[in-house]
Amino acid sequence: MDFYEVIRTRRSVRSYKPDPIPDNVLRRVLDAARIAPSGSNRQPWKFIVVKDEETKRKLIPACHNQSWIAEAPVIVVACAQELAYNRGGYMGKLSGVMDATIAFTHLILAARAEGLGTCWIGAFDNDKVKEILGVPEGWNVAALTPLGYPSEGEDAFRETANRKPLEEIVSTDKF
């Protein structure tokens, strides 16, 4: 699949088939995250692949009761190490979250290329997710995504026109 088709047709999928993801496909998607760039090549991330049904159900209330996330055969949780790196002069320990979300974007785009659906989950309780998954101090949850084949099949990946025009989001030389 052409890269630009991947990014044009990536959508937030909220309904999944129970079909398992083949190990080689899951590995390629995770490897796309592994090779993402990070500041000073620190790679301050860890990805938790949640397949256990009970654990997926426990994540529902920690994700503001978005019960559909547990329909997918996998939930991927991106964790970011807190870093003492003040990127941009203001980010401080959050620079690890930025790096983890870059890697998470690679994962989501690779998933689309494999015909898998995702939905970036930003509505979650960091402390609850950390407790459920045993995430240690010095780490935080950056994002979660269900990962699986959309129940709508390829129809789930319709291109949208619901984006601001380029002229509204890009300027030259000054803001």
Using CB atoms within 10 Å of the CB of residue 102, give its burial: 0 to 12 exposed, 13 to 18 middle, 19+ buried: middle
Which amino acid is it at 122?
A: G
Position 34 in a domain: yes
Position 71 in a domain: yes
Position 161 in a domain: no
Q: Domains in the chain: how many in total?
A: 1
Q: Show the domain range for 56.
A: 3-154
Cα separation, 60 vs 100, in Å, equals 22
Give the model's confidence band at 104: pLDDT under 50 very low, under 70 low, under 90 confident, else very high: very high
- 3-state SS assignment for residue 42: coil
Structure tokens that stand for 44 in this block: 């301050």
**55-92 pLDDT per residue, tens:** 999 999 999 999 999 999 999 999 999 987 777 887 77
Position 159 in a domain: no
Position 47 in a domain: yes
Lowest mean pLDDT among 28-32, 38-42, 167-171: 38-42
Cα separation, 140 vs 82, in Å, equals 7
Give the model's confidence band at 123: pLDDT under 50 very low, under 70 low, under 90 confident, else very high: very high
Residue 118 pairs in a beta bridge with 12, 147
Looking at residues 164-171, what average pLDDT do you find?
96
What value does the mean pLDDT of the chain take?
A: 95
Cα separation, 147 vs 26, in Å, equals 9
Position 171 in a domain: no
| pLDDT at 127 > cutoff 90 | yes
The CATH number of whichever domain residue 134 belongs to comes to 3.40.109.10
